[in-house]
Amino acid sequence: MAAEAAEAAPSAVSASAGLSGLLALQSGDLVDAGADTIHDRTVRRRARDILDALAALQRAMLTDGPITAPLERLAILAQDGADAADPTLRATMDAIMLRARVELARHAAI
């Protein structure tokens, strides 16, 4: 039982870090003017675009609207990953890309 708790702890911590990273990205808190590079700004912009596409897909599903356009946009945005220099931004982008790929896989089976 203690071994299971010890193994679950890192997962809970990384899940918490992923969620806090997503929230920080959405609120714009991941901007450090000194460490911010052009590449990281591009990654951050792309992450926001993917989050917007996921939100559009969610709205379409909730309103029984067509989901083809949001899925196509999401597929284009999620084609390749982008590595950020900032480790928190990199982990956040990885979590966003995973969520996008899950949605794409889920709707490919329909």
Write b or e for each residue in 72-98: b if 16 or more Cβ atoms lie within 10 A of its Cβ, otherwise e: ebbbebbeeebebebebbbbbbbbbbe
Report pLDDT for 91.
92
pLDDT at residue 10 greater than cutoff 50: no
Higher-confidence position of 38 and 110: 38
Residue 89 CA to residue 52 CA, distance in Å, equals 17
How large is the greatest C-alpha to C-alpha distance in the chain, in angstroms?
48
pTM: 0.66
Residue 8 CA to residue 13 CA, distance in Å, equals 9
**pLDDT tens-digit readout, 32-82:** 544 568 888 989 999 999 999 999 999 999 998 888 999 999 999 998 777
For the chain, the domains span: 37-110
Q: Which helix (H) or strand (E) holds 29?
A: none
Residue 96 CA to residue 93 CA, distance in Å, equals 5
Residue 108 pLDDT grade (very low, low, confident, very high; cuts 50, 70, 90): confident
